[in-house]
Chain A
Amino acid sequence: MTGPGVSPRFVAAARAESTADPGGRKRVQRPIDHPLVWRAGERCASWRARPTGFEALDRHLPGGGWPATGLTEILTEHYGIGELSLLMPALARLGRDGGTGCIVWVAPPFIPHAPALHGHGIGLDRVLIVRGRADARGNRDILWATEQALRFGSCGVVLAWARSVGQVPLRRLQLAAEAGRCWTVLFRPPDASRQRSPAVLRMRLTAIGEQTRIEILKCRGGRSGVVSVRLGNRCQGDAGRGREGSPHGDDGRAGPHRDDRED
């Protein structure tokens, strides 16, 4: 797992030092030491990544985390399966690392609950919320607002919820995110997976029992695959849950770093 400040060259070198990849094959000890050279068998080191806070996911993503810039698409049919909890460690770290970027929420489907965000360690003075409307013009305005926030370059993360995004607006968002050096997370319904996408990372979320199944549909410089993580039962600092305890008794052990990978 590497921090966002580590140069790609260093990452490449560090990876070359590592003994074996999960497949068990012995790696080439000295790859051509150039950041622009990417070896097909290796994770792409060109992402400046922000750690997700979930080890299983970090292991799977090239660079070891969320892409620092560009478009990330999260396809989910329902809310309440951990789609926000998945982002919380990265968002909290964004503020802690001294970044001045704010977190812009464009058209969230419900009210982001301030005490919970605060509990996750997110500075509320960095949060800017733009309420959207549900009609067609509202959808256009949502995309417009997202693009504006991206182009401004002083936002750390833009989270946007859009009903339908055409091919051209999607491309615009990706370009704006790259131009503004900003991380964008676009939440979309799952039928969007049929559409081509210029996004850097694209994943579909489903809940299976206690776990959230993350199906990585597209990952620039990485591989698609499936990761399961346990989300949602954890607050910042392991604050714990209700006094009564849960019928499953898994509160204390439910940290995200106890995940396993079923790739």
Chain B
Amino acid sequence: MAQPLRALYPGETSPPPRPSLSPGSRPNRLWIAVHLPEVEDRELVSLACWMRRITPLVSLEPPQALVLEVGGSLRLWGGLDSIEEALDRELGRRRLSAHLCAAPTALAALWLARDGRKDVLSTKRLAGFLGALPLHVTGWPQATRRLLKKMGLGTVGDCLRLSRDGLVRRVGQRCLDDLDRSLGRQPDLRTAFRPDRRFSSVVEFQEEVTSPQVIAEAGKRLILRLAEALHGHQAQIASCRYGFRHLRRPATMVRISQVVPTHESRKIIDLFLTRLETLSLPAPVTALSLTTGKITPMAGLNAGLFPACPDRASETTLGELIARLQTRFSAEDIHGLGLAENHRPEAAWSEVRDPWAGFAAVGRGIPDHRGGIPAGRRPARQATAPGYPQRPLWLLPMPVSVTAADGEWGHLRLESGPERIEAGWWEGLDTSRDYYVARGSRGRRLWVFRDRRSGRGDWYLHGIFG
């Protein structure tokens, strides 16, 4: 059943159907389209980044345009005029020629801008203004437009006058949808432009630089830029990579990990300067670059209701300390301690790679009335069970042979033992040892074992009662 478009939508006064899920569907929506006849893709993306300070909903219309929803920003910016003024100023600064047009729907704004028309703020008069536009503003395929032209349709208005069925049959559903969207009859769901959050920036020096002060200043400048970008994204970083570029040799790359992700320029600069103190560069520097590692959304801090409650501050500072230490020590050199359920002494402990996480868990534990850590946090392990044999506080990385009685450890006098440890055969590490506490020269208490697996029953030192 063929029906004219206008008959289907009789009252322009009735509010358009309200789609869900789209921020652009607010009742007072207003779109600005910016049509840039000659613009590169990169410039367009950079412009979109900048426009995100006006509204979160910026949508690219490649190749030459972008639309932004400003209905929600009108009050903040003090009206459409001041937004357009700000846009004009930025476009002027970038030396871009563009045409701006505002309309109640995104497509209408875009089409009007492509034809260089004026703003249309009234939904009622939208159909009239759109009707006068030539068909090329729609961006429909060339074949479609040629077909329509053969049918004697030269403007958008001509299409609107066709019956809906007929239009779909001849040129497809897409054109009808576009027309509906441009008039606000159908929701126009757009994905907001999300800029690439990786950050990369370079400071190039006029000449080859050796002075650490100059490099430090350049680094600070880069980090301030980074902090601004992070603020724009409401994001934080866990690590940065600095590239010190040299003439005629590969750049020196330095990665600095923050351990606790941060967005604060102060902390990033602090670590950079600490690392710079000990950094030895093979040649003068021609440029300094900064690339971020993984970017994560900024984690908000919950303020405590009671100021006395343990907060996250201690966790943060410990993470900062570890990050600082990592500028001179490798990450493997810094670790925490953990227990492992194993009878072999060398396997009864483990290195904990993220000690600050465990520390944070303790820090967040709510103290009981005596201010202690809740008992549930303390692991109940066999090592505290009564009657469990004594363990030395120092463990040697590898057992040392003490067969020679006149060696460094002197004549050993056994004080207690043996404690037999037989384990590990299921892991291919078959051990069978008799451990004794021995007194060595100069009163040292040592933990020695006799290896029952070796035929001769060799003696080894494995620990020291420090």
Chain A residues with CB under 8 Å of chain B are 77-85, 88, 95-98, 100, 102, 108-121, 123-132, 141, 144-145, 148-149, 152-155, 206-210, 212, 232, 235-237, 239-248
Known contacts A141-B328, A145-B329, A242-B390, A152 near B395 by CB under 8 Å? no
Known: A80-B466, A237-B386, A239-B384. A109 touches B394 (CB 8 A): yes
* Residues A127 and B355 in contact, CB atoms below 8 Å apart: yes
A–B Cβ pairs within 8 angstroms, 5 of them:
A114-B350, A118-B384, A123-B378, A129-B335, A154-B321
**Contact A115 B349, CB 8 Å, known A152-B321, A242-B389, A244-B416:** yes
Measured CB to CB, the nearest residue on chain B to A121 is B384
For the complex of A and B, 8 pairs with smallest distance between CB atoms: A207-B443, A98-B371, A114-B349, A80-B444, A84-B466, A125-B358, A116-B391, A110-B394
Number of B residues contacting the other chain (C-beta, 8 Å)?
Answer: 71
CA distance A217 to B332 in the complex (A): 37
Asked if B370 is an interface residue, CB under 8 A from chain A, the answer is yes
A84 pairs with B349, CB closer than 8 A = no
**Residue picked from B329, B363, B371, B392, most chain A C-beta under 10 Å:** B329
Q: Is the CB of B318 within 8 A of A207?
A: no
Could you say which residues of chain A place their CB within 8 Å of the CB of B193? none
Stretch at the interface among B7-15, B20-28, B225-233, B337-345: B337-345
- A124 & B391 in contact (Cβ 8 Å cutoff): no
Asked if B465 contacts A82 (CB within 8 A), the reply is: yes
- CB neighbours (8 Å) of A110 from chain B are 394-397, 464, 466
* With A80-B440, A98-B373 as contacts: A128 and B334 at CB distance below 8 Å: yes
- The reply on B415 being an interface residue by CB < 8 A is yes
Q: Closest A residue to B317 by CB, please name it.
A: A154
Query: How far apart are A121's CB and chain B's nearest CB, in angstroms?
Result: 8
A111-B396, A113-B463, A128-B336 known; A232 and B445 CB under 8 Å? yes
B393 close to A (CB within 8 Å): yes
The interface residues of chain B, by DSSP majority, are classed as mixed
Q: Do B393 and A98 touch (CB < 8 A)? A: no
Which positions 355-394 of chain B face chain A at CB distance < 8 Å? 355, 358-359, 361-363, 367, 370-373, 377-379, 381, 383-394
Contacts of A148 in B (CB 8 A): 321, 324-325
Report the nearest A residue to B465, measured CB to CB.
A232
Q: In the complex, which of the residues A132, A154, A237, A245 contacts B416, with contact meaning CB atoms closer than 8 Å?
A: A245
Contact B334 A114, beta carbon cutoff 8 Å: no
- Name the B residues within 8 Å of A115 (CB-CB): 339, 345, 348-349, 381, 383, 391
Interface residues in chain B, defined as those with a beta carbon under 8 Å from any beta carbon in chain A: 310, 313-314, 317-318, 320-322, 324-325, 328-329, 332-339, 345, 348-350, 352, 355, 358-359, 361-363, 367, 370-373, 377-379, 381, 383-397, 415-419, 437, 440, 442-446, 463-466
Determine if B362 and A239 form an interchain contact, defined as CB atoms under 8 angstroms apart: no
Task: Give the residues in chain A near B419, CB-CB below 8 Å.
Answer: 242-243
Interface of A is mostly: loop
Whether the Cβ atoms of B317 and A118 lie closer than 8 Å is no
With known contacts A110-B464, A232-B465, A209–B320 Cβ distance under 8 A:
no
CA distance A96 to B26 in the complex (A): 57
**What's the nearest-Cβ distance from chain B to residue A256, in Å?**
14
- Expressed in whole angstroms, the Cα–Cα distance for A86 and B69 within the complex equals 70
A232 to B416, CA, bound (A): 13
Chain A: CB-nearest residue to B334: A130
A171 to B335, CA, bound (A): 28
Residues from chain B with Cβ under 8 Å of A246 in the complex: 415-416, 437
B325 engages A126 (CB within 8 Å)? no
Whether A119 and B391, one on each chain, are in contact in the complex, defined by CB atoms closer than 8 angstroms, is yes
| CB atoms of A119 and B383 under 8 A apart | yes
* Most A Cβ at <10 Å: residue of B310, B393, B464: B393
How near does chain B come to A118, taking the closest CB pair, in angstroms?
5
Given the known interface contacts A80-B446, A123-B378, A154-B318, the answer about A128 and B333 at a Cβ–Cβ threshold of 8 Å is: no
A113 contacts B416, C-beta separation under 8 Å: no
Q: A210's closest neighbor in chain B, by CB?
A: B443
In the assembled complex, which residues on chain A have CB atoms less than 8 Å from the CB atom of B372?
Answer: 96-98
Rounded to whole Å, the gap between the CB of B75 and the closest CB of chain A is: 45
Cβ contacts under 8 Å, A129 to chain B: 334-337
Nearest chain B CB to A209 CB, angstrom units: 7
Closest to A211 in B: B443
